[in-house]
Amino acid sequence: MSEPWIEVRDLWLERGGRPVLQGVNAALTGRAVGLVGANGAGKSTLIGALLGVLRAKSGSIRVLDLEIPGGAMHLRTRAGVMAEQAGIFPGGSGVDAVVFAGMLSGLPRRESLRRAHRALDALDMGEERYRPASGYSTGMKQRTKLAMSLVHDPEILILDEPTVGLDPIGRTQFLRLIRELRDQGRHILLSTHVLQDAETVCDEMLLIEGGVVAFSGPVRGLLGAEETLLVAVGAGLDREFAEGLALLGFGEASASGERLTFRPRPDGDLLPFWRLASERGAEVRHLSRDMPTLEDAVVAVMEGGSRGRMERGSRGR
């Protein structure tokens, strides 16, 4: 098993006297980790804590081989950050912005210029890089901001809502770029409230709701949070057939027309289903697993967490 590259233990952090992160625990090993939650859930605050910009009230943070906040300055030389609210300084071209970002990371101007062009080439900026950045479309601005985070060749990319404001084509292209960067070996933390973005790029998820971890682990574990249903389509799959399945140890079943939905047996054995179909003369044309979507799974986890906190609060009162 891979070692966690982000490890957070019992992290508590307040802002303005209000608790924002409340006992966050996570050990993340994925090549690309989706930090997912609604606006105000605590995602940006957690990013600030990981970078040592925000100081936690208690708990511990380790990113790569560095303890935070002690190793924060070193970490920032190894990380590229694309912040949602950060812009491109006015009055210059795209390449000027990327060169400036490289110099801020400590590169000499000549080396920063060389790397800026390399990053912009990788992002297909073409001759647009020489135009004033103030006239860029949203997509061009996002590419420039990504190039600014890449110019010093970081090991880690922290991307905060990188597809906000992009049209569908631009969003698809941008996510493809992020996947390519992931496949080149970089660690990526993608903060987003758009589940489709996380599903496209990430192999691990950290779900935050109200400053509390609702789920942490591989995406496949999240999808497994809901029990798989089986769906059969064909003639003879009626209410009596569903009742027969219950007697054979299958879970709750419901029939509608020629569609039968049921839960598998605990042992996963489907042979009793096929025997029953043969005995009753049912014609099964199709049998498949009805897997939950990522959105379904996230909603189920979030709703479960909300109910749990409400119940604990009620008991406390």
pLDDT per 10-residue tile (average), the chain, 317 residues: 89 92 95 90 93 94 94 93 78 92 93 95 91 90 92 94 85 89 93 86 91 87 66 92 92 88 85 92 86 67 54 39
Whether the Cβ atoms of residue 284 and residue 278 lie closer than 8 Å to each other: no
Cα separation of 297 and 41, whole Å? 18
Q: What is the pLDDT of residue 268?
A: 77
Q: What tokens were used for 216? A: 């942490």
The token duo for 200 is 């496209």
Q: How far is CA 91 from CA 107, 113, 116, 266, in A?
A: 22, 18, 18, 65
Tokens 């991307």 — which residue? 159
Identify the pLDDT of residue 45.
93
Contact 42, 213 (CB under 8 A): no
How much is the pLDDT for 305?
56
C-beta atoms surrounding 171 within 10 Å: 20
- Tokens 């569903």, residue? 242
How far apart CA 202 and CA 30 sit, in angstroms, is 8
Domains, the chain: 6-223 (3.40.50.300), 229-290 (3.30.70)
Q: What is the pLDDT of residue 196?
A: 82
Please indicate, yes or no, whether the overall pTM of this predicted structure exceeds 0.85.
Answer: no
Q: What angle do CA 57, 60, 65 make, to 5 degrees?
A: 140
